[in-house]
Every structure is written in structure tokens, then in C-alpha cells.
Amino acid sequence: MSENENKNPTNFVKQIIEEDIKNRKNDSRVHTRFPPEPNGYLHIGHAKSICLNFGVASEYNGLCNLRFDDTNPTKEEQEYVDSISEDVRWLGFDWEDREYYASNYFQKLYEYAVQLIKAGKAFVCDLTADQMREYRGTLKEPGQDSPYRNRSVEENIDLFERMKNGEFEDGSHTLRAKIDMSSGNINMRDPVFYRIQRSTHHRTGDEWCIYPMYDYAHCVSDSIEGITHSLCTLEFEDHRPLYDWFLDQLNVFHTHQIEFARLNISHAVLSKRKLLQLVQENYVNGWDDPRMLTISGMRRRGYTPASIRKFCERIGVAKADSTVDMALLEYSIREDLNKSAPRVMSVLRPLKIIITNYPEGQTDDLDAINNPEDPGAGTRKVPFSKIIYIERDDFMEDPPKKFFRLAPGREVRLRYAYFITCVDVVKDDNGEVSELHCTYDPETRGGDAPDGRKVKATLHWVSDEHSLEAEVRIYEHLFEKADPDNPKDEADFKSYLNPNSLTVLDGCRVEPSLAGAEPGSRFQFERLGYFSVDSDSSDDKLVFNRTVTLKDTWKKIQKAKKQ
């Protein structure tokens, strides 16, 4: 990353960190962590957290760990661990040798739990999950003490060890913290922090049949690793008193937890549970479906790490929840690709043109600019021949007044090539236009007429003889509704899925310079948008994903707001 990318605007998180440094808290040390649960693929919301945690560590000459909070073996898989590691590296961040797992600390977490029992701060409870809910109370009514709350320390230690040794059935016993059943914060009402769960763990196998709950393992793992600043989203704000309670009772290193607003983005859902539902119920084609705002899906669609980091910088870090317009994300990738993506010509819905006065068997190699934003990108040769293709939308037989592209008797410019004039329209048996016959002016090579005459349109094209066939996948928003995940909406979020979120175009034609383009390569298809080579591409057939259109809606939105 460039030096400028680290110069993020000041935000309240950095202000707190700077105050801690000023007061020499923890010897002015800054040590953060990105702590994903390996129960799904990362999405754009996680990218915000990744950029924040690694970013502030870098800015204040600190360290950032990658730690997998793997405390629920029924939902966690090695596949998710691998994908998370790949995504964080792809975004441009390096945790060096600091890859940790909550499962690294299972023995220590168990010993700390025994310490809490001995201190009279934890007890083994026999209530079922349903009974526990009844005892818990409500937001308006206090809870009731468990009838097992006053077991002796000796009995609790014996029962907890027997839980660990597998003597009890799943769900029959739990270990609960002994705090306050009348607390206004329900999280403090004697929460469960160990449960019996016979399930093979992706790292520890069947070594354990009891597992710590997230709220316990997370804060203690932070403490074990010496994390100075625990940056997390606002939903954990009500959990902070519980975290502090565990650390206070254990008398261990205290992490400074700071909560920030999670990312909400229009026309999308960012709940791993809901994303998993879309995958498992085949509404999308896997976690890396380019319509998903998973990092792997965005990578496959053609997003760049720099564009995602820039987007995260633009949205900033706030304390209040808000929703970011998808247009800002699209603006960020469009801005990046405009500078870096080579320009090529392609035709998505081909209409054949025969240039009647062009010599049979002749080919002209024309000079084309690779990227007008980057003079150093140079030029390439594009072959021109007697039969070419243009976009079907670039011709109208009976055009309206403001249609300036090709029509019968009209002259237009072909990009980098010649002026052509439509002289005849050929139709098939259904009355559909099947091909056009045109003439060209050989004096206009390169796109300018010696006599100074002007045309009102320039069209892109490809040569029939030299172009390559391709499949192109056109993506739109996955959801039609801007806020499909609105908690006030009683409708199922899947009812707002956009039936036109994917359109597959076969028989597209691309210029020959794209032969052998590697998956992940990004290009601007002139006049059409930015496209990336999909992983489904093969030597026999190129497959492209549309990353984003050329049209920029973000600037229009901002302009309208100022008016």
C-alpha cells in the first residue's frame, strides 16, 4: 500500500488510541486483532473491520493479530479458515507470525473457569435451555436465581470436571457465571459460559466435549494475547460489562474495547447467517458468486484490493448506524479501474456489417490506445476486415430525433478505424435485422476525414475473422429493495431478490488481444463498462464478469444533494 493510503482522516477510534498513547497506557503500546469466527466467508463489512484494525496498528507502529474465534465446532470449518486467510492477504494485510486461534487457549480457558468456580463466581446449572429462558426474566422483569446457584465450590468443581470428561449428555449441564439476575443488562444475568457439545472440532478433533461460549473466550483470548484495543461493532456494546466482569474476576490484563458502527450497504444483506442461507438454498452460486458482497465474490467480480480499501477509508468510522449507498462502492472501483484497466473493444450483442467496398482478403492493423489515463500503457494493433460486428443497439432502422448512431443512409465513425455509411439493411424471415451493408471511406483511416466533415457518433466494433467468442455475465444488484434487511419489515428478505440480477450473454465477440487473458484480469470494454475474466474461463471459451458500468451514479447523487 502507498504511504498516502495510511493517512486516514481522524476518527473517534484514533482519538481514543491517541489519548491512551499520550497517557502512556500499556506503555503507549498499540496491539489490535481481527477476530473472525470461521463459520462463513468474509464480506465487505469485515473488510471495514480489517482495514480499521490493521490500519491503526500500522499507523501507530503497533501490531495486529489474525485470530480465529473458533468456539462453535458445529458451524466452523477449515474451508472458512482458509478463505478468511486468503481474503485478508488479498486485501493487502500481513499478520506475519501472529495467527492465533481461540482453540489454542482451550486448556487455559478451562483453568480460568475452574478459578472462577473456586472464587465462588461460577456454578454448574442443570436447567434446560427452555427453563433457563423462563428464569431469565424480561427487559422489564428481573430474572430468578437458578435452584442450582448455591451449590458448593466442591460440588461445582466435581460436576465441571465430569462435564469435561464426557459423563453427561449434551445440554444437561452448563457452567454459568454468578453475577446478578436482577441486572438491567440481560447479558449479566448469570450467563452460560461453558456448554456440553459433542462435535468434532476442525483443529482439536474430539479432545474436548465442552466448549467455551463466545463472550467468555473472546475477551479472555484478547487478554492472553495482550490486545490493547479491541475494536468491535456496536452490537457488542452491551456485552462489554460482561467482558470487563470476566477480566476483573480473573485479575488479568484488561483490553480497552471500543465499539463502532457496523457497515450497512444498500441493496445487500451482510449477515453471515443470511448469506449462508442464500448459498445453501441455491439462490446464488456459492460464496464467491459475484452478486454477493463477500470479499471472494467481489474479487471474482473484478474488484481490486485498493478500491475496497479506498471505499472503507471513504465511509470512515462512526458511532451511529447508517446505510451507505451501493453507488459509493461502485464509484470506488470505477475510479480505480479507470486508471489501471486496459481498454479493449468487444461486442456483447453482435450485429454483422459487410463493408461492400472493402477489398476481399485484406486486413488493416490499426493503432489503438491501451489506456488514455496512462500514457505509459502504450498502444496495440487491432485488425480490421471486410466483415465486422457492432452492437445491435448501435443501429436503428427508423431512429428517433436524438439517436445519432448508425441508421440507413447515415455516416458514423468506427473507433480507430474509418467512417462508414449504411447503404442496405438485410432482414431474416422473421423481419429482424440480420446484417447491414455499408461502405467505408478509405481516406478516413484513424477516424478523421481529410475534408473536415464531422459525424455525430463513434462506435466500437470487432472483426469477424479475428475476434474471439466469449460469454459475458451481466450483474445487477442482488436485491431490488434498497433495504432488504430492514428489521421493521415483516417480509422475508429473500422476497426482495432481483430476478434480473444475472444475465448471461452467449455469442459475444471480443478483440483478439484478449486471447489467453488470465482469470482475474480486468479490462474496460469501451463504451460498455469494466469487466473481469472469470475463473470459469478456459482455453476454449473466455468468460467475463461485468464489474461495474461506466456510468457514475455516485457523482449525480452528490450533485443532487447539494442542489
What residues are annotated to the active site? Answer: 37, 262, 272
H helix intervals, 319-369: 326-340
CA angle 99, 519, 84 (to 5 degrees): 20
Instruction: Report the distance separating Cα 10 and Cα 30, nearest Å.
Output: 16
CB 218, CB 70: distance < 8 Å: no
d(CA 55, CA 229): 13
What's phi and psi for 453, nearest 5 deg? -70, 150
Identify which of 528, 514, 434, 524 has the alpha carbon closest to the alpha carbon of residue 468. 514
Cell numbers of 410, please?
447515415
SS3 call for 271 = coil
Q: Which residue, 484, 353, 483, 487, is CA-closest to 418?
A: 353
Angle between helix 106-118 and helix 214-224 axes, rounded to 10 deg:
110
Q: Give the Cα separation of 12 and 367 in Å (integer).
A: 53
Integer CA distances (angstroms), 486 to 263, 266, 267, in order? 14, 11, 11
> Sign (positive/negative) of CA torsion 296, 294, 240, 202?
negative
Q: How would DSSP label each residue in 487-498?
A: TT--S-GGGGB-
Number of C-alpha atoms within 13 angstroms, CB side, residue 206?
3
Phi-psi sector, 226: left (phi>0), alpha (psi -120 to 50), beta: left
Given a contact cutoff of 8 angstroms between Cβ atoms, the answer to whether 201 and 70 are in contact is yes
